Structures are given as C-alpha cells and as structure tokens.
Structure 1
Amino acid sequence: MGTPVRVRILGVGMGPQHVTPEVAEALRTVDYVLAAEKSDDDRLLALRRQIVQAHPGPGGPAELVTLPDPRRDRSTGLTTAGYESAVADWHDARAAQYAEVLRDRGGTAAFLVWGDPSLYDSTIRVVDKVRALLESTSVDVDYDVRAGISAPQLLAARHRIVLHDVGRSVHVTTGRRLQEAVAAGQDNIVAMLNPPPERIDFTGLQEWTIWWGANLGASGERLLSGRLGDVLPAIADARADAEAHDGWVMDVFLVRANR
C-alpha cells in the first residue's frame, strides 16, 4: 500500500453554533476540507467556510477544496427504484471525484456533514466507495466519524416536545414515503429530505398534529405547529420565506395521530 490517507467525517449540525468541542478538535487536525459546490452562489458552502475559519489548526484554517457537484436526476415522477438508481449514480460520481483529489493530495481530509452523519446523509456510504476505489490502486484509506446535532433533535427542541409518547416509538422516513409509513401502521412519523409540501401526499392526515420547521438554527428559521389541516396552507409560504432569507431550504416535520 502507498501512503495512507485519513478522512474525518464530521457532523456540524446547521452551522458554526452547533459544532461540538469534539468536532472542533477533529477539525483542527485536518489539512483540507472537501465539499461539493452546488452553484456559483452556494450559501451552504459559505457556512462551511465559516466553520473552517472558526477552528484553525496550528498552521491556520484548513483549506476548503471545492468540486462541482455531479448532476443528479431530480425528476418529480421518478419511481422509488428510479430515485434510488439516480442517487446511486450520483454517489458513484461524487466518490470518483473525491478519490481523485485524495489520491493526489494525500494527508488528512474532512467532510463537514449537515446534521449528523448517521441520519439521512450518505457521506459514510460515499467514503466507503472512495475507500474501495483508492484501495484498488494501492492507496490505504482510514476514516472516522464524529457525531453532530441532527434535524429531529433541533425540531424537538424548538417546539419543546418529545418526539414520541411514553413507551412508544417514532418512525423516521422521507416526505416522499410518508403514505407508505402510514399504510404500514405508523402514526408518529418524522419526515426528512422533504420536497415542497405540494409534492407530499398528506391524504387522510388532516386531523393529525404537525410540528414543522425549516432551516433550523439558521437566521431564516421558520416554525409552525397545530392541526395539520389548519397549518398546511401556511407551510408553503413559510418554506419559501426561509429559502428567500437564507438562499437554501431544508425542512423537517413530525406528524402524529391524535390518540
């Protein structure tokens, strides 16, 4: 094997205010941070830069190395199989880009993951692909993971709720699979990776309670809660407000049947 490459996967919540001491310590050990650039005015990239600048190592802040994010099929009519295939192709393209940089640069690199790497994020999967690519060319890759504050944690804190009733469970899924969860008998559901509300099927849930939040922890944070049928019309406007304010939008919600 050649000179080993070290990768650190660091959960950073929703920005500088959520970086834990453990993650900050890890960030000070890296030579550079790898990040996908989604547009010419990528404000999430600007937040990553703030995080890097806030936690310099002995030689100063780590270099932020950006790569154009590969295109992904985001057609609204994709089947579940089509969606999963599109995401797999996207991950393969990302892994190939990252592997090339890591092979050329070596050293210790980091990925800054929004929320927590364990929950609806694929950085660990992508790094596993990178590892396989590099080890096939005799470059050894070692990586570790540091936890971050997740979106469901922030949602619960903002609304001052517990995500589940006493002795009961909470089901975590995506907005596009909400009805699948309901059909399976789930009645206390956190949904992440959500499209705009008009593309989520809320059929039959009008009497349920919803706790919704967008851009949690950011300056454009928006919160709504109440009977779903009453709150739903306002969610689209609040989501658009959050996106207009911050230049990006991520939302999460909890829906619960009234018992």
Structure 2
Amino acid sequence: MLSCRLSSSLDPNTVSVRRESSKDSFLTSGTRVLKHVNQIEVVKTYKSEWNLFIKSVTDSFAANYTCKADHQVLLSDVQLLILFAPKIDYSGISSPEEIVDEGGTVELTCAFTGEPLPKLTWFRGDVKQLTGITGSKLVMRDVKRYATDFYTCRGENSVSFEDYTINLIVKFHVEIDVMEKTIYVKRGGMFTLSCIAQGAPLYDAYWIDVHELKVKSSMWKYDFYSEPAGAHVPAKFVTLVTRTGTLTVFDFGTYTCEAKGEGTVARATVEVIEHKDSKEHVPHTSNGFN
C-alpha cells in the first residue's frame, strides 16, 4: 500500500489525482486504474486519500512511484523495492565441473540476482568450511593436486540464501610408490606387497606378478585389494597377498605395481627374494614408502 494524501490547501472535491511509475508511466487517474487492472486498486480510506494498493507483488513492480495533483503538484514520491531471495545467474557462473592442470591457474566464478543484492561467500568441501574469500571470483594460482574438492559459492541477503557448488578437479600424471623395494621370504611362506597409486585421472591400478600376469582375486594363489587412499586426491592403496603354502621357487623375482592414467603409465617394482638360513641373506625392512 502506497499512500497519497492531499494537503489541507487542496479541495478533494475539485482536484484531480494521478499515479505514475518510472516503469509504466500513468497507472491511475482518480480511482480509475489504467494498467495492471488485476493487481492494482485505488483505495480511499478518507476523502482526501488516493492510496495505491498492489496485490500479488512481483519484482517487476520495483520502481519509483509518484502521486500528483493538478498543475503537477507533487503529493508523494516513493521508491518501491521488491525483496526477493537470491537466484543463481547462470550467465555468469563456472560450469559445475572445472578441470585444471596441476601448477596452473583456475578462476571459479558465480553470480546471483536478488534484492537486496546478495553477498557472495565461498566454502570448501562437503562440510562447507569457510575459505575467508568473498565476492564473485575464487582465483587459485599454482594449483596443487590437494586443491581437488567441491567449492560452494553462497549468495545471501536478508530474505534467504542459495548455494552453487563447483567440483574442481586438478589433473596430474599418475605416480606409483611402493612400501618396500626388496623383501625376503622363505619358500612355502607368504608375503604382502603394497603400493600407492596417484593420478587424475586414475583409470586403473594393479599388480603384475613374476610370471607377468595381472593379479586378480580370482587367482588361486593371491588375494588382491584396492581401496581409496585420500579424500582430496585420486589415490588408491593396492595390495597383493599370497596365500599360505603357495610360494614355490618359481615365484621369486620381480613384481610390478602399475597404474594407468590419461595417456601415461607409471610402474614401481618389488624384488621378492628367497630367504635362506644363511648369514649372507639378511631381511630388508622398511617403515614407510621409499
């Protein structure tokens, strides 16, 4: 309801009152509605009032409204702001998935409409941890693989808030590292080989045994495990375990952990050596990756 009242110096019986807006020009003349007839009424609570009542307000009614009497006498001048929740402006945002090479620069952008104009804040991860960065752009230079994550831009105003999430993928060549490069084991015993494979993309990671066969869990002499190794980096722990009593003289030699990426293959080897009861052969141990 936008009020308009005559001053005491004007006679409501003889004066003519008109309403206009900065968008639609003349809206009413007296009590007659000229535009938006289904949404606008002129309400006269008192003889000297010509109040403008707008029903089912949309943001299209945001404008400057004036009420004038004869001879361009200004009775009221009101700016109407229509408050509405933030909405994503798809013409000014990054795609839902952005890919950048490690060491490069990436610029994530977002945009929202809303009244009042939304404040933009950036969050990281599924738990939406504050990054301390505000504004429409999140720029990262010399990007490391650990930047791989979900980044959320939140547009917030006094009405509500809306989120837009971007999945950032940092590409890098596949890499392989092994727990131990040499192990000693007795014939008839068993051993465990472990490696970690990293890469983006990382298509596959597996062990190749001494007979140059790709190890599968279905093989009678091996158990094979592959499990994720990190939350923000595409990495897998790949483990090969021999079953008890299967190790023969023909199973000593070189075992290879291999990973495949985009146009690249990485390999690392472990030498499995027969341990004999001789002082010449001393077991090699390691507490971590070499």
Query: So what's the TM-score if we normalise by structure 2?
Result: 0.26
Higher strand share: 2
Higher helix share: 1
Higher relative contact order (CA 8 A, sep 6+): 1
Bigger Cα Rg: 2
Query: So what's the TM-score if we normalise by structure 1?
Result: 0.28
